Structure 1
Amino acid sequence: MHDPRKLHMDAVERILRYLKSTPGKGILFSNHGNLKVEGYTDADWAGSKDDRRSTSRYFTFVGGNLVTWRSKKQPVVARSSAEAEFRGMALGVCELLWIKNVLSDLGFKPNETMSLYCDNTSAIAIAHNPVQHDRTKHVEIDRHFIKEKLEVGIISFPFVRSELQLADVLTKGVSSRVFNESLFKLGMCDIHAPT
């Protein structure tokens, strides 16, 4: 907002054109018979052309229904793609813990391990590796936070192939086919579509 340019305005106009052309789109909540809490996290590496900061993105689901999503620029420059993904994982873990607490306050006690799907094997390895090296010193606080949640079995980090990573639609430009498939998986539907 402090330095808007034509490129930024073009992006806003593109978003507004999409919203105008899809007035009937919305999220359909369905009963899938469970309250499993899971999420998908992704991050670009040095994606901002202005300051080379990465952007973390995630989707979270409860019972197979999309409940929250976020895209946020990271506060510091990541020195590797693994670091950018790892910081994104920490953000996703915080969101999953918040959702679990909200469900507990509402009288639901989710006891299953929550899954946060990530497509970066290096970031997953850092989360699982109890012996840290100099290369992970700069993410040490996030590492301890995630390690603590892994050890007590609150969270797991299953690997998901990049083609199945739902958070990609928030991370990068994807083809219209991948975009539409992702919208379907996220529970988006069009009330004006023919049945």
Structure 2
Amino acid sequence: MDLVNDAGLLGCKPSSRPMDSTKKLQLDFGTLMEDPSKYRRLIGRLLYLCITRPDITYAVHKLSQFVSKPCVGHWNAAEKVLRYLKKTPGHGLFYSSSSKPTISIFSYADWAACPDTRKSMTGYCLFLGNSLISWKAKKQNTISRSSAEAEYRAMAQATCEVV
């Protein structure tokens, strides 16, 4: 809650989602911020919070791409993450002692997700029983020619994590 308080959003309306899925963040997303260090500080704190809050990992990853030249639109998107954190203070990792020791992994790819580079996004979640033990959301290193190729790369990365 300190993050929300420090940003001056304690009295704001909470959000049920960490990011607006209809908006594609780009390098030029409005006017440049007058004080970019404010945005950089917030993103650094959110990155640290991702250690225990995998539900915001994707949104924070997207926002961290713009720390070199943050715009007002990026700040507004970061505030949406804070409003989500305000609504979900009890969310986080839970490790059950009674779950079965089975390994499950789920992978995801968003083909050409970045409008600036046309690179795809990869994401995966690795579970031991009901407990999340590893997760990642990352832009792929190469540009995929199809959604099937992007999915294949995502599955390959997830498989490497299991091994």
TM-score scaled by structure 2? Answer: 0.54
Structure 2 CA distance for partners of 1:95 and 1:61, relative to 1, 3 Å: same
Q: Which residue of 1 aligns with 2:154?
A: 88
SS at match of 2:112: coil
TM-score by length of 1: 0.46
In structure 1, the gaps of 5 or more residues are: 98-195
Q: Helix, strand or coil: the match of 2:92?
A: strand
| Total equivalences in the alignment | 97
Asked whether the 8 Å contact 1:57–1:71 carries over to 2, the reply is yes
Name the residue aligned to 2:124. 58
| Alpha-carbon displacement from aligned partner over 1:140-191 (angstroms, at most 9, x marks no partner) | xxxxxxxxxxxxxxxxxxxxxxxxxxxxxxxxxxxxxxxxxxxxxxxxxxxx
Q: Distance in 1 between matches of 2:147 and 2:122?
A: 11
CA positional deviation for 1:25: 1.9
Deviation track 1:102-156 (CA, whole Å, cap 9, x = no partner) reads xxxxxxxxxxxxxxxxxxxxxxxxxxxxxxxxxxxxxxxxxxxxxxxxxxxxxxx
> Are residue 42 (structure 1) and residue 123 (structure 2) matched?
no
Matching residue of 2:34: none
- Structure exhibiting the larger radius of gyration computed from Cα positions: 1
Tell me the residue number matched to 1:9: 75
Unaligned 5+ runs, structure 2 = 1-66
Distance 1:84 1:78 in 2: 6
Higher relative contact order (CA 8 A, sep 6+): 1
In structure 1, distance between residues paired with 2:73 and 2:114: 13
Distance apart, 1:4 and its partner CA: 2.6
Which whole-Å CA distance do the structure 2 matches of 1:8 and 1:49 have between them?
Answer: 15
Secondary structure of 1:26's partner? coil
Identity of aligned residues (%): 42
CA shift for structure 1 position 67: 1.2
| Aligned-pair CA distance for 1:87 | 0.6
SS of 1:25's equivalent?
coil
Q: CA deviation at 1:33?
A: 4.7
Structure-to-structure mapping, 1:1-195, within 5 angstroms: 1-97=67-163
Alpha-carbon deviation of 1:68?
A: 1.4
Measure the CA separation in 2 of the matches of 1:19 and 1:51: 30
Q: Report the counterpart of residue 43 of structure 2 in structure 1.
A: none
Cα deviation, residue 29, structure 1: 2.2
- Greater helix proportion: 1
Code of the aligned partner of 1:96? V
Q: Which range is displaced more, 21-30 or 67-76? A: 21-30
- Do the aligned residues in 2 keep the contact of 1:38 with 1:61 (CA within 8 Å)? yes
CA contact (8 A) 1:38 1:62 kept: yes
CA separation of 1:90 and 1:36: change in aligned 2, threshold 3 A? same
How far apart are residue 31 of structure 1 and its match?
3.6
